[in-house]
Chain A
C-alpha cells in the first residue's frame, strides 16, 4: 500500500468542495437546481477520474521499460546521478 494522504486530502477537499460545498452557495434563482446538478456532477466526475488514476498507480505491478539513452538522460535531468559501484 503505497499512498500518501496529502494529495488524497487535497483532491477530495477540492472536488468535494465543488460537488458538495458550492451547491449550498448557489444564489436563489430560476436556475438554482440546474447549477447545483452541474456542480455536483462536475465534482463527482473529476474526483472519480483523478482517484482511479491515482489508485491505479498506487501499487504498480510492472515498471516502465526504458532504453539506454532515456535512462541516462533521466538520471541526469531528474537529478539522481548514477553511482558506479
Chain B
C-alpha cells in the first residue's frame, strides 16, 4: 500500500507552514478558533507602524467604526489617493516594460511596508521615472515622425524619378506612360487605369504644356481608389494621377502600427485646379512633399535626405537605448515597489476604519482576534511601537459582546482543500463541530466506493502525487487557467481519492475491467466431466469439487469477472455495502450532533433530539444492517436436509423483510422452510423495535417545545414575583420608576441569549419541520446512499464495455497487422480511458460524493450559518491584487 506517501508529506509542510501554529492548540480544526472582540488604542504616531506589523501577522479582523462616513471624508483619504497615483504610475511603467519585453525580476522577497516618510521618496522616484519615460517616448515619437517624413520623401524622389526619366528620354509620352503603368503595376490596377488612359489621350498637349504643374505626396494604400475617383470627378478628368506602391510597410509613429502607403504624383494645369487638388489631398490625409522639377535639384535633395536619415537613425538608436536602460533599471525593482505601495495603501485603508478619540492623540480600533493568538498580537504591537519610536504602549482591551464572532479555522495546505469543500456549502457557525477533519477520509473513501478500479485509481493517484511532489515549482508558476487551479487546489484530495480507489479496486478486483488472480480462485473445475447446458456451465457452491469452502482472501473472487451472472452477484453485494456504509455514515453524523449539544450545554436537545434520533435510526435502519450480516453468516448453499432451512431456497430477501416489518405484515415463505424468520423471536423483536421507533417521532416533536414553554412560564412567574416584592419594599419611593427601567434591560438581555425571543408558535413549527425532515430524511437518505452502488456498477460496466469494444478487438487481430491495429486501438482505448473513465466518471463520482457529504451527512448536525474570519493580512491582499491584475 502506498500509504506512507499520502501522509509522508504533510506534517513536514505543516511545521514549516505557520510560525504561529505552535502557539495555538491546533486540534482546533475540529471546531473554529475561539475569538474575542478587542478594543485597540493606538498613539497617532505609532498607529501606522503597529497596523503594518498586524498586517504582516494577518490575525486581526478590523471592524469599520465609521460606517456612516463616506470614503471621501475619512481621515487618510489623501494618503490613499497618493497611493492610487503611485500605483497608476507603476502600472504605466509596467506596461512600458511589458511592451519592450523586458523580464521583470520577481525575487519573491517581501519588503516591509515603508515608513510614511519614505512615501515621499517613492513618490519622487516614480514621478521622475514616469516623466523621464514620457519625455523619452515623446522624443522618440517626434523623431519617428521626422523619420517617417524623410522616408516618404525619399520614396517620392525615387519613384517619381522613373517618371521624369521617361519624360526626359523624349519618348512619345502616351506610349511611355502606358509602358510605365503596365510595368510598374499589377493587373489589379487596370480597372482604375481605364479612365486615366481614356481621359488622357483625348487632350493633345504639347510636351511643354503637359508638364506645367504637379504635386507629389504619400497616401495610405487603401485610400487610393477613392482618392482617384474623387480627383477624376472633381477635376473633370483634367488631372493626371500616377502612383506607385511603397513595398516596405512604414511605422505610424502615434500608434506604432505598420501601415502600407503609396506614392502618388498628380499633374494638372492652372491655379484653380491646383487649389482643388490640394484640398482633395488634404481631405484624404495625404501628405504632400515639395519635389523640385530640375533633375539636379532632385538629386541634391535626395542626397540631403539620405544624410539626414542616417543622422536620425543614430539619434533614434540612442533614444531607444536610453529608454531601454531606464526600463531595465525599473524592471529590477518594480515588483518590490508594487508590494510596498500596496502595503502602504492597505495600511491607510485600515487606518480609515479607526475612530479618533476626543483628544485627537489616539486612534481607536475594534477588532476580532483569536484568543490563542493574543500574545502574538501584543508582541506585534510592541514591535510596531518600538519601530515608530513612540513611548506610549498601545492598549489592547478585550470586550464583551453578544454578537456572533467570525468562524476561523486554522488550515494548512493539506486540510484547506477539504475545508473549502465544507465552506462552499456554508461556513460553520461559531464553535460548531467542523466536518472537515472527518471529510478528509470519508470523502475519498466514498468516492472510491464509486470509482473502485485499481488501474483508474492508479492514474488518478499518479496525477495527484505529481502535483503534490512538484508543489513548489507548480505553485510558483501562478497559472491563471481556472480549471488547472481547481485541480491544483484539490491536489491532496485527488491523491487520496486515487489511493482509496486503488484499495477499493483491489477489493472489487477490477483493473481496467479485468481481475487479478493472485491468491488462486476459490472456484474451480476438477474431477468431473462437465455437463453443459446450452453451452453454459454453472459452478455449484454446494460441492467441494467446485467451491473450496472458503472465499478468496482479498476482495472479489476473480472468477466472477468471467461469469455471465457476475452482475447479479455483484449487485447484491454492492447494494448491501452501500446501505451499510450509508447508515454508518449517518449514525456518525448524528453522533456529531451529540458533541455539538454537549459543547453548547444544550441538555434539552440531547434528550429531546439526539436520543430519539439515534433510537429511530438504530432500531429501524441499523437493524437492517444487522439482518444483512446475519444473512451472510447463517445462510449457505448445502445439500443436506437438516440444513435445508438455512439453504439457498430459504434465504429471505432483506428488503422484503424490512418493508414488511414497517408495514407490520407477514412475509410469505416456502412451507419446507418452516418460517420466514432468520432467528427465533424475530417477529416479536421487530414489533418492539418498530413501536419504539414510532414513539420516537412524537418524542422528537413535542419534548423540546413543551419544556421551553414551561421554562418560560416559570421565568415569567419569577419575574413577576420579583417585581412585586420589589415594589412592595420600595413602595412610595420616588426612585422606583427609574429603578424599574434599569432593571428591565438585563432581563431582556438574558432573554436574548437563548431562543426565548422566538414566539412559541415558531418554535413549534421549527420543531415540526425538523422532525419531519429527520424521519423522512432517514428513509430517503438511506435510499440515496444506493448511488454508491449505482455509480460503481456504471463505472465497472463502462470500463468493461470499453475493453470489449475497443482493446480486445485490437488484441484479436493476428499476424503483423495485429501489431499495427493494436497500436491504434490501444491509443484509442487509452484516450477514452483517461478522458471518460477517469476524468468524466471521476467528476461525476466526485459530485455524488459531495452531495452525500453535504446533504446526507451534514444535515444530521451541521448548521453552517457562520461567517468567515477575514483578517487584515498583507499576504491575502497582495495575492488578490496580483491575481486581479493578471485577469485584466
State in angstroms the CA–CA spacing of A75 and B851 once bound together. Answer: 46
CB of B532 within 8 A of CB of A34, answer no
CB of B11 within 8 A of CB of A78, answer no
Task: Please name the residue on chain B nearest to A41 by beta carbon.
Answer: B441
B802 within 8 A of A: no
Residue from B504, B526, B556, B580 in contact with A82 in the complex, judged by beta carbons closer than 8 Å:
B526
Residue from A58, A59, A60, A84 in contact with B529 in the complex, judged by beta carbons closer than 8 Å:
A84
Q: Is the interface on chain A under 10, 10 to 19, 20 to 34, or 35 or more residues? A: 35 or more
State in angstroms the CA–CA spacing of A37 and B530 once bound together. Answer: 53
State in angstroms the CA–CA spacing of A7 and B481 once bound together. Answer: 48
B528 within 8 A of A: yes
State in angstroms the CA–CA spacing of A18 and B410 once bound together. Answer: 26
CB of A1 within 8 A of CB of B442, answer no
CB of B573 within 8 A of CB of A30, answer no
User: Given A67-B536, A68-B535, A70-B562, is A32 in contact with B524 using a C-beta cutoff of 8 Å?
Assistant: no
User: Given A35-B11, A82-B528, is A45 in contact with B441 using a C-beta cutoff of 8 Å?
Assistant: yes
State in angstroms the CA–CA spacing of A34 and B432 once bound together. Answer: 16
**Within 8 Å CB of B30, what residues of A?**
33
CB of A66 within 8 A of CB of B564, answer yes
> Which B residues from 407 to 422 make CB contacts under 8 A with A?
410, 412, 415
Contact flags A36-69 to B (C-beta < 8 A → 1, else 0): 0110011001101110111111111111111110
Contact flags B434-462 to A (C-beta < 8 A → 1, else 0): 00011011100100010000000000000
State in angstroms the CA–CA spacing of A70 and B26 once bound together. Answer: 58
**Within 8 Å CB of A50, what residues of B?**
507, 554-555
State in angstroms the CA–CA spacing of A79 and B564 once bound together. Answer: 22
Contact flags B482-520 to A (C-beta < 8 A → 1, else 0): 000000000000000000100110011000000001001
CB proximity of B557 to chain A, nearest CB, Å: 6
**Within 8 Å CB of A52, what residues of B?**
573, 576-577, 580
State in angstroms the CA–CA spacing of A37 and B415 once bound together. Answer: 13
CB proximity of B140 to chain A, nearest CB, Å: 58
**Within 8 Å CB of A66, what residues of B?**
536-539, 559, 562-564
CB of B565 within 8 A of CB of A65, answer yes
A13 within 8 A of B: no
CB of B441 within 8 A of CB of A64, answer no
CB of A64 within 8 A of CB of B635, answer no
> Which B residues from 547 to 587 make CB contacts under 8 A with A?
547, 549-557, 559-560, 562-566, 568-569, 572-573, 576-577, 580-581, 584
User: Given A41-B438, A52-B577, A74-B525, is A67 in contact with B564 using a C-beta cutoff of 8 Å?
Assistant: yes
State in angstroms the CA–CA spacing of A63 and B520 once bound together. Answer: 16
> Which A residues from 1 to 27 make CB contacts under 8 A with B?
1-4, 6-7, 10-11, 18, 27
CB of A30 within 8 A of CB of B551, answer no
B72 within 8 A of A: no
State in angstroms the CA–CA spacing of A33 and B26 once bound together. Answer: 8
Residue from A18, A29, A30, A64 in contact with B539 in the complex, judged by beta carbons closer than 8 Å:
A64
State in angstroms the CA–CA spacing of A32 and B529 once bound together. Answer: 62
State in angstroms the CA–CA spacing of A67 and B565 once bound together. Answer: 11
**Within 8 Å CB of A35, what residues of B?**
7, 11
**Within 8 Å CB of B537, what residues of A?**
65-68, 71
CB proximity of A38 to chain B, nearest CB, Å: 6
CB of B27 within 8 A of CB of A34, answer yes
Residue from B412, B526, B651 in contact with A81 in the complex, judged by beta carbons closer than 8 Å:
B526
CB proximity of A69 to chain B, nearest CB, Å: 9
B632 within 8 A of A: yes
State in angstroms the CA–CA spacing of A82 and B537 once bound together. Answer: 14
CB proximity of A64 to chain B, nearest CB, Å: 3
CB of A49 within 8 A of CB of B633, answer no
State in angstroms the CA–CA spacing of A83 and B25 once bound together. Answer: 71
CB of A59 within 8 A of CB of B568, answer no
CB proximity of A63 to chain B, nearest CB, Å: 4
User: Given A2-B550, A57-B552, is A63 in contact with B525 using a C-beta cutoff of 8 Å?
Assistant: no
CB proximity of B831 to chain A, nearest CB, Å: 30
CB of B541 within 8 A of CB of A62, answer yes
State in angstroms the CA–CA spacing of A29 and B782 once bound together. Answer: 38
Residue from A11, A46, A59 in contact with B637 in the complex, judged by beta carbons closer than 8 Å:
A59
Which of B526, B550, B556: most chain A CB closer than 10 A?
B550
Listed in ascending order, the chain B residues whose CB lies under 8 Å from chain A are 3, 7, 11, 14-15, 21-22, 24-27, 29-30, 410, 412, 415, 437-438, 440-442, 445, 449, 500, 503-504, 507-508, 517, 520-530, 532, 535-541, 546-547, 549-557, 559-560, 562-566, 568-569, 572-573, 576-577, 580-581, 584, 629, 632-637, 648, 651
Listed in ascending order, the chain A residues whose CB lies under 8 Å from chain B are 1-4, 6-7, 10-11, 18, 27, 29-35, 37-38, 41-42, 45-46, 48-50, 52-68, 70-71, 74-75, 78, 80-85
Apart from A3-B551, A45-B442, A56-B577: 14 A-B pairs, beta carbons within 8 A? A1-B633, A10-B553, A34-B440, A46-B445, A46-B503, A48-B584, A52-B580, A55-B633, A60-B541, A64-B562, A65-B564, A68-B535, A70-B562, A82-B525
Q: List 10 A-B contacts (CB under 8 A).
A: A2-B550, A2-B551, A30-B14, A49-B449, A53-B555, A65-B539, A66-B536, A82-B528, A83-B526, A84-B529
The 6 tightest CB contacts between A and B, nearest first, are A30-B26, A64-B563, A33-B27, A59-B636, A80-B526, A57-B551
